[in-house]
Structure 1
């Protein structure tokens, strides 16, 4: 385990040097991509081809996107719109690094998630300390070695031990300006509690227990294929994959007909451990006991961490499976009367990162701001699941029990900096004195005229109607008025 170095390393890593590092990093990651995919497969059981497509491709795309756009995003901006009474003064807002950032990495997308978090922290100008996941240390070590070999100055990147205790020790040692954590809600709360003690800002990417909605006008064949692929990719261990799908009854039979071949042809998948597979099996059997059924007619048990993907249909809403509190390739299918009922059931959940809606009327969904508010998610995919989130400009912002702070995209990059405002006053402008009463009265009249000022009426807390009044100067020599008791 490496020792934690000083807060401000002597090396300076200016933008031109960062740009050169980005070019080398993109080239090196593309060259070693299949090697990293093999390491991911060896450590967590993900197929090599899936690891390449779902992790390495998005990282390479993100490096290129930041190489072309990050400088413009972070550049100092001259702010317009100053009021006329600020004549002779200008305002510029710069983005500066937060400082020293701790990344506590996760295992389910060991290169895909850490790669973009690391990239954004460095591009923003921070120094970074990484605690790799104990479940995927070799694949993450390879990524970090490549990043360092591409020309990072000493002190910009530090790697500490991968054990959970190493993470706790780093938090206890402190000295960080920001902490990024990806993982479960319970551990996220503990990280947040540590950060709260020193008022350290944080980004928490926590669990998602997300929903898909299949409306009556949807293409059922496409909806079934997209949802099933999202449910089973990475053995169901994707935070933004749907755990449950609400299908309107008018299209329910057609949806099940389209989903059935996928469920029937499913092969067992390897989960991260046997406990995760057992949890999925337990919830599916509880749901069947409540009246649900397996669409494929098969209910294979978990075996040494392997589980056959299952579509559990006709799920009653009281079944624990519908809550989505598991991490595996199981899909709860719930029939609903209408979209409103689906939204109400979705609203019972507290962990929502993404939602998928299948409908031909995409324009209505895109323009419905109230719907976006009710869904409570940061990503909505229309007629697709998960795969569009690989766009490097797409930001993910946790909400509620799914965490807080932004990662990826413009918002994620900005989140790893802070704003510094700099004002300049012209040399010819005299030092202003505090205006006298006559000047303020004249100024007040002018502002009222410019603003088209009109009086308003309101009620105070007692319900008594009040009218806006002009306050008279307080006479300090006058004795206070007596208040009459009732």
Structure 2
């Protein structure tokens, strides 16, 4: 059993304001995985105070970019050396299948390397050439850190979400308070251990597991200069309103209801080979999951049958089992939420192709959901419009390509999506017409050098690479 009975504040493990520890239960069988201290508002106040002092009076913001890069490169190497342990703990506390948590470790390296490359290539200070040759004024443009950053992440992919924020924030010279979900107290304790070793100055970073009330105290704190949030659109709206009232900088990576467009010429074998990874990764608890499958009317039943076969072939069960593709939901309330949506789909008149609201046989103890596919779905149905965050797919028919584009864009969200076609250039032309932040062609994995983020209600701002680093910088112009 793993125990973290202290809080990581300003680079040191310190006594929490409340001695009560939270039990972290396995989503698979509800056994006790570990216990961890939880932050309260008083702990947030301490973390913000040391972050404020470290930014205003400390060395990190004025450390040469090359030195900051070296520290973050060391963090990346430390994480790589403990990848197996990290993956195992996330699987134990989250219920994410072992294949997913292990496969995600090299992605974390690529994500970090993209930020490091951007920082190495950034002109932190440059002198602009005047447009008028006769001008006597020169402009020096500096890129400087914003200040104290509150980074707030969800539970579904804790290392990816946390590193996507703290690496660029620290590279830019900011100080950071990372607020994590109570469910991730153990894996984020491992992250804090790495941060304690990598060479950051005192006060530069804190890692606080805490509930929503404490999280709101953090983002509302007057000494926080920027909020970086990943989570639900509802919570994002609340955070945006707080940031607006206080004129804080804010970036939001929110929900999605993404579409996978299967064009008439698509190779169905290739589509089904990539379907599980595009549509059902991380037990369906993924904001980028392409849960609306758009199929041409001419091949509709063929696509529905192919999707059914793939979903029924996926093993559901113990996430530690190497053969398991889909594990349990994170909590019992999330399990019930997904089952309720399946009931809603049935009541709305969608055709239940496979699955249903019943718990998988033999998996009654954990928080399991039967992977479910609906056909004959109208895009106006709730199961086609609302983010379910579980292993539930809907197949929607379209008449022609214009209709497919219209249906894909007929959503309040715009985070991800995909196009499947035998003609890559034609697929690219369709992808250009979709109002979403990230598109893939024929199941290509998302890269980390390009910007990642959402249109519409899927968020504000971008992560990854130069765009993500720029989110944590202020521009200053000095004229000479």
TM interval, short-chain normalised: 0.7 to 0.9
Structure 2 Cα separation of the partners of residues 367 and 315 of structure 1: 26
SS at match of 1:317: coil
* 1:360-411 deviation digits (Å, cap 9, x = unpaired): 232244357xx63x522111111116xx22x221322232211211112211
Deviation readout 1:123-168 (Å, 9 max, x if unpaired): 1111111111112111112112202311000111123342222212
2:291 alignment partner, SS class:
strand
Residues 219 and 164 (structure 1), Cα distance of their counterparts in 2 relative to 1, 3 Å cut: same
Task: State the number of aligned residues.
Answer: 415
CA distance in 2, matches of 1:324, 1:289: 15
Given the alignment of the two structures, is residue 5 of structure 1 paired with residue 49 of structure 2, yes or no?
Answer: yes
Q: Deviations over 1:285-304 (max 9, x none)?
A: 333444433334x4351455
Out of 356, 364, 387, which is 1:299 matched to? 356
Other-structure match for 2:187: 139
1:334 and 2:396 aligned = yes
Q: Match of 1:380? A: 439
- CA distance in structure 1 between the aligned counterparts of 2:448 and 2:196, rounded to whole angstroms: 22
Q: 1:145 to 1:206 in 2, by over 3 A?
A: same
Pair 1:41–1:206, CA change in 2 (3 A): same
What is residue 479 of structure 2 aligned with on the other side?
A: 423
Structure 2 alignment gaps of length 5 or more: 1-38, 317-326
Contact 1:243/1:324, CA 8 A, preserved across alignment: no
CA contact (8 A) 2:168 2:469 kept: yes
Q: CA deviation at 1:273?
A: 2.0
- 8 Å contact from structure 1 (residues 74, 414) kept in 2: no
Q: Is the 8 A contact 1:207 1:351 kept in 2?
A: yes
* Cross-structure match for 2:23: none
Give me the TM-score of the superposition, normalised by structure 2.
0.81
Report which stretch shifted further, 199-208 or 357-366.
Answer: 357-366
* In 2: Cα distance, 1:254 partner to 1:113 partner: 37
**RCO (CA 8 Å, sep 6+): is it higher in 1 or 2?**
2
Structure showing greater Rg:
1
> Tell me, which stretches of 5 or more residues in structure 1 are unaligned?
425-486
SS of residue matched to 1:108: coil
Whole-Å separation in 2 of the counterparts to 1:67 and 1:183: 25
Change (3 A) 1:419 1:276: same
Partner of 2:144: 96
Q: Distance between the aligned counterparts of 1:41 and 1:192, measured in 2?
A: 32
- 8 Å contact kept, 2:356–2:371: no
State the partner residue of 2:425: 363
Displacement of 1:181 in angstroms is 1.1
Runs of 4+ in structure 1 over 6 Å off: none
The alignment yields a C-alpha RMSD, in angstroms, of 2.1
Range moving further from structure 2, 189-198 or 29-38: 189-198
1:168-191 Cα deviation digits (max 9, x unpaired): 222333211110111112211221
Match of 1:475 in 2: none
Q: Secondary structure at the match of 2:203?
A: coil
Which residue of the partner structure matches residue 112 of structure 2? Answer: 63
Which whole-Å CA distance do the structure 2 matches of 1:31 and 1:191 have between them? 35
